[in-house]
Structure 1
Amino acid sequence: MLCISVVAFGAVNGVALASDSEGDGRSCPVSWQTLRDALRAAKADRSVTTPGAFGNNMWGVVVNRTGAVCAVAFSGSAASDQWLLSRQIAAAKAFTANGLSLDSILGGSKQLSTQQLYDLVQPGGGLYGVHFGNIQDAADATKGPASKWGAASDPMVGLRVAGMITFGGGLALVNNRGVVVGGLGISGDTACQDDKFARAVRTGLGLNGGVADAGTGATCR
């Protein structure tokens, strides 16, 4: 049984994390346009599909290394083209994947996807119970105006809405040096489809650590 200790962290690569007053809530490993383009490219790619998928449009959310939302976009033409609930689910997936990932040079568990967490949080699993914590801030996650949801000025940008999701669609964003620079959350379809779509988007962003993101990263349920 895999046993992992989950602790709060205050430094990355030996450097203390900046406070919001120093602007870390707005720093981002990707631009809004880059995220939007990667979402649309993945949606247009017919190979990015899994059995049983609905074929829905997707929400994509990126958090920076401190867990603050820094980009929110969707693959459709309007926010209502995706499940609206998936916007905040995607944010929680990004927060989860970022918070449970380490730089590759540190060894250990390295990066955990939200798909991998599914088995770990079942009774008897090495992370059973972790999903009962880290409750999402619903007030921040649903803040308006709704007309800006998915825009570059989405009201979630700059906020740590938190949340814990333990099914597919959340991945760490990793640069070519193996350093985690944030998290990506994708939501809008089945867990398996969200996971595969997230891997295609991460590849499109160039933040998969230089490793091919084909298929899904764990047994898909």
Structure 2
Amino acid sequence: MKKMTVVLGLGLLAQLAAAPADARMACNIPDATVKNVQAQLDKVIKLADANGGIFKPNRMWSAIVDRKGQICSVISIGDAWPGSRAIAIAKAGTANDFSNDGLALSTANLYAPTQPGGSLYGLNNSNPFDPAFLAQDSLPQASSSQVASVDSFPELSRNGKVPGGIITFGGGVALYDANKKVLGGLGVSGDSSCADHAIAYRMRKAAKLDNIPGGVGPGGTDNIDYAALGVAPTGFQQPHCFPSDITP
């Protein structure tokens, strides 16, 4: 059985009577919803196609932020790259920041327009990542069956701080409720950006939070749109990572 490390944000602490009111309200997505989304990661990384990625099963970080960009949960499965933790958080924030009830944009959709000469060039510099969230212990850690004591939380996570960060390659999707309203964002990282997108997209679908209003990807979705091999991405496309890439 793969070991699963969970970094629990404030949205999972409502059950703690000792938690102050401002801590309980720091994540505005219901606990059950956050847990449901994160529960999909262990299932999706074990799919036979490995999501088109490098590792089988995939080794991933998964992060969720609410509509305000506040951290709700960060988890990892397997020996995921430590640097992917911050990337997952930033992907979640990016997808949330640039999606609304009229249009869903995945981070994969933002690759081409943020390249030099693109209509969104410079977007990557607009919301810098808070370096306080780079440290591996910048959020409380616990096993999958435990919740860290609120007293062990660093001050930055008690106050519902927003990590920020912009990532413009695959792995981030916005979370939509049944009324096509954005709840927040989901970001994953730990494999190729193409596999990361497939994992996030499949997790969201399995959690039934894919009720998007429309998108710029194939079929009016926010799915990844691959540029042809050897051709520079245009529009809202992203280049291929490997021949094994899939479109979820």
TM-score by length of 2: 0.67
* Correspondence for 1:124: 117
Q: CA deviation at 1:177?
A: 1.4
Tell whether the 8 Å contact from 1:48 to 1:196 is kept in structure 2 after alignment: no
Name the structure 1 match of 2:92: 94
Gaps of 5+ in 2: 1-20, 214-218, 227-237, 240-248
Q: Which amino acid aligns with 1:111?
A: A
1:1-150 correspondence to structure 2 within 5 Å: 21=22, 24-29=25-30, 31=32, 32-50=34-52, 53-55=54-56, 56-76=58-78, 81-104=79-102, 110-142=103-135, 144=137, 148=141
Match of 1:218?
A: 225
Report 1:154-169 matches (<5 A): 158-169=160-171
The answer to whether the 8 Å contact 1:114/1:169 transfers is yes
Q: 1:216 to 1:137 in 2, by over 3 A?
A: same
Assess if the C-alpha contact under 8 Å between 1:34 and 1:205 holds in 2. yes
CA distance 1:136–1:149, change in 2 (3 Å): farther
TM-score between the two structures when normalised by the length of structure 1: 0.75
Gaps of 5+ in 1: 1-19, 105-109
Cα separation, 2, equivalents of 1:75 and 1:215: 26
Q: Does structure 1 residue 207 correspond to structure 2 residue 200?
A: no
Tell me by how many angstroms 1:74 deviates.
Answer: 2.1
What is the alpha-carbon distance in structure 2 between the residues aligned to residue 138 and residue 177 of structure 1? 35
Report the CA distance shift for 1:149/1:113 in structure 2 as closer, same or farther (over 3 A).
farther
CA RMSD of aligned residues (A): 3.0
SS of the equivalent of 2:191 reads: coil
SS at match of 1:167: coil
Tell me the distance in 2 between the aligned counterparts of 1:120 and 1:181. Answer: 25
Q: Which has the greater radius of gyration?
A: 2
TM-fit CA distance, 1:34: 2.2
**Could you tell me how far apart the structure 2 residues matched to 1:176 and 1:73 are?**
25
Within 2, Cα distance between the matches of 1:24 and 1:206? 24
Q: CA deviation at 1:146?
A: 7.6
Q: Give 1:116 deviation, angstroms.
A: 0.7
After TM superposition, the structure 1 stretch with the greater mean CA deviation from structure 2, 35-44 or 189-198, is 35-44
Match of 2:190 in 1: 188
**C-alpha distance in 2 between matches for 1:150 and 1:65:** 26
Provide, for residues 67-88 of structure 1, a one-character-per-residue CA deviation record: whole Å limited to 9, x for no partner.
0010111233xxxx11111111
User: Which amino acid is 1:65 matched to?
Assistant: R
Give, in whole Å, the separation in 1 of the partners of 2:142 and 2:132.
Answer: 14
Q: Specify the alignment match of 1:174 in structure 2.
A: 176
CA distance in 2, matches of 1:129, 1:121: 7
Give percent identity, aligned residues only. 35
Letter in 2 for 1:174: Y
Contact 1:89-1:165 within 8 A present in 2 as well: yes
